[in-house]
Amino acid sequence: MNDYERKLQDLFVAMREQGFQPFFKGDADKALGTLHRHLDTMSRYIDRVLEQETLAAELDSDPTNKDLRTRMELSDNVRTSAHNAAMTSLDVVNRVFQGYGLEPFIVVEEGENRSSIGEKIASYVSVMLLGADGPLSCSDTAVLSRDLGLDHAARSTALQEFLQSLAQ
């Protein structure tokens, strides 16, 4: 069991002991759904990183291609939105952990820059959802996900099954 899985296991133990309070008003299904949605949002960010890196490689080989440049700009906007959503979801998950008296799921230092937080989110995806031996960068996590054939849907399903196993 990796650190992320252990932390989630500890959270479910704490939630059962406290009656799925204070955040979920005693509703285990709501807890499961909320955690899955926010952890999944962090995973989705990696797909946007891969998309942008793929376009960047294409643009490097054809820097004058206006269509590629436009697609790259759009991809950058989508990646930024996905990054913002991932950071918001991380904040929600960390507040849930802290609400149950646990250490944050992913520690974020006050004033830590966005890029560093993105790398920490990638570490969670690489270790917990892709089975990497250690944390990987955003780029390496995106490539590993592609190489393993684990798209967002596959990662989301695996995450849901893991969380359901903890909820029982």
Domain boundaries, the chain: 3-167
The tens digit of pLDDT for each residue in 109-121 reads: 999 999 999 999 9
Packing angle between helix 66-99 and helix 114-124, nearest 10 degrees?
70
Q: Say what the pLDDT of residue 54 is.
A: 87
What percentage of the chain has pLDDT greater than the value 70?
99
Q: What is the dihedral of CA 7, 9, 10, 12, to 10 degrees?
A: 120
Specify the higher pLDDT residue, 104 or 151.
104
What percentage of the chain has pLDDT greater than the value 90?
64
Q: What does 104-138 look like in DSSP terms, one character per residue?
A: -SS---TT--HHHHHHHHHHHIIIIIT--SS---H
18 three-state secondary structure: coil
Q: Say what the pLDDT of residue 31 is.
A: 87
Q: Say what the pLDDT of residue 28 is.
A: 83
Q: Say what the pLDDT of residue 122 is.
A: 92
> Does pLDDT of 134 surpass 80?
yes
Instruction: Take residue 107 and report the two structure tokens written for it.
Output: 């520690």
- pTM summary value: 0.90
For residues 65 and 159, what is the distance between their CA atoms, to the nearest angstrom?
Answer: 39
> Does pLDDT of 20 surpass 80?
no
Q: Say what the pLDDT of residue 108 is.
A: 95
Instruction: Find, among 51, 59, 45, 69, the residue nearest to 120 by Cα.
Output: 45
Rounded CA Rg of the chain: 17
